[in-house]
Chains A and B, each alone.
Chain A
């Protein structure tokens, strides 16, 4: 306890410096803009804005990035409610009841419920991170290379198994990321791999070049194609009070708490991600809420639950990032990549070696959550005006920022061209319905994964059995196996029936 308090003190002393307070504010502010603007999700936003952090110390940089992350998560709900267009996939469910509430002139309470729900969930996730983060790091610190390799395999497969429509395509995408990560000089043998004699390929392909190409520029191409047939949208005005009534509060709490818990454990701890968390939470409300019959017709539960859930999930995936160095979502993968670029190695050692960094981030999350609340409720009118920015200008500005960001990284024109190439590839993937986020996950983890694999092989003198003999490693690998085979489980009983005749009920 003493330890915890002193850690919190340390955290606030880091996050409370004027510069970091400002950055937290800037992050939350930019994040909200990104969340509100259609098309730019948290992932594109964080990738595009990473270059601003280049000159900063790591603690300041992550404070800014985390601010953008949860700012964007929150901003997405505003457009869901007012315009019925989700800013990102995790606020798709919020549209159902949120927009219905807005139509009935209750946009204010809906926005408030989303903001307070996010705040409650964010705070809960932060407390959990403080309580269990150090413990988890303690456990993970004892992991050897085989355990880490297995953990990374599990991290990749669990996230992959939940990305996109087709598991096959998601797996391909992950492997493609690993394949790209192999380009460059191999650190352990000084051999060049896939460099084709190109000097810049020797350092490997920067993940940010791929990320910006595949998210931001792909978005540009999608926008260009959609400009010919614009969508009709109706914006609801905010009528009536902004604040929730007593009745609203009474109905808000149970849903928000259910959403927070389910979001944290399903979306965060189990690695299912924010979008799944929000869907699960809506399902829970549909089943257990006292007002389940009103869901779909503008019930506050349909906003409070999912919005709490997606923020709790976002917070939960930060735990993995900080304690294990494993990203639980596309956005955290980009943050991980950025930290590695800054020379930090996220993982269990971070808690002991960089306490100021970790606790500073945690404290800034508190501060950022409060800022979000203050920033969003009174200023909601301003955010909505952002939607009036013409789409083609927005598209052109995304191009400018992409070029600016990628160029400042290495001052390289080749990177710019590579980014354009990945933009085109990304658009092709989008048309073929191949999810892009797993590529980034694969790219960010690729080098480390290979390194841990080779270290394991050195320990075992070339025998793969080392992954089976270690209980923790085999457990991780088993989870990985189960997660990628789950679409096929339903065939098992079917197979049994075929084998043993029609003894059981048909269905």
Chain B
């Protein structure tokens, strides 16, 4: 039953995060929304405050359910009727995920300085090295098409601007 415990724990963490976020949002409506100089029947803070309040209310109910060990059976039948998506139950591969997130962040920061085509190619290859390096030749070709090919299609055929980056040095 270790799995079930794991799920329980995840839900409990989620309920705490939800409550903290809702509370922060609600407090934020008092500090992050200045009062308007224009007189209005309903000012700019009213609607966000109502949303924050409802959000907090729901989070707190959920939190209490988690603490008291809320029965899950009802939800399972509901899901069967609705045909809700299957719940993810495989264990998270935190290490690979973290590496991929780092690649994505690097991708974002290098997007403009190096240009679309080059950064995309590099990120794609980095991803290939992390996930599966058995078919390097084939994947290099796919990566090349997906980066330089797409760059060509978007900039010349669809006329969408993409950063040229280092390609502009080559006069392309």
Contact surface of A with B, Cβ cutoff 8 Å: 51-52, 54-55, 89-90, 92-93, 162-166, 168-169, 171-172, 175-176, 178-179, 182, 186, 188-196, 217, 220-222, 224-229, 275-276, 278-279, 390, 392-393, 395-397, 399-400, 403-404, 407-408, 411, 413, 416-417, 420, 423-424, 427-435, 449-450, 453-454, 457-458, 461-462, 487
Contacts and interface: CB of A to CB of B under 8 A. Distances in A.
Contact of B84 (A89, A192, A225, A278): A89
B14 interface: yes
Contacts, number: 212
Contacts of B150: 400, 404
B38 to A, nearest CB: 6
Interface string B36-70: 10101111110110011011001101100100000
A487 B78 contact: yes
A166 B131 contact: no
Which bracket fits the contact residues of B? 35 or more
Contact of A55 (B82, B120, B159): B159
Nearest to A167: B78
Contact of B34 (A92, A182, A191): A191
Given A196-B32, A224-B93, A413-B109, A454 B51 contact: no
Given A395-B127, A399-B104, 8 more contacts: A182-B47, A191-B35, A228-B93, A396-B127, A403-B107, A416-B107, A420-B104, A420-B105
A402 to B, nearest CB: 9
A88 to B, nearest CB: 9
A221 B154 CA distance: 27
A432 B47 CA distance: 28
A245 to B, nearest CB: 30
Secondary structure class of chain A's binding surface, majority of residues? helix
Given A165-B78, A400-B124, A400-B146, A188 B44 contact: yes
A454 B55 contact: no
A168 B15 CA distance: 11
Nearest to B103: A399
Nearest to A437: B85
24 contacts: A163-B84, A165-B84, A166-B78, A172-B18, A182-B48, A192-B33, A193-B48, A221-B97, A221-B100, A275-B82, A275-B83, A279-B82, A403-B107, A403-B108, A403-B111, A404-B162, A416-B108, A417-B108, A431-B10, A431-B92, A449-B47, A454-B42, A461-B41, A487-B74
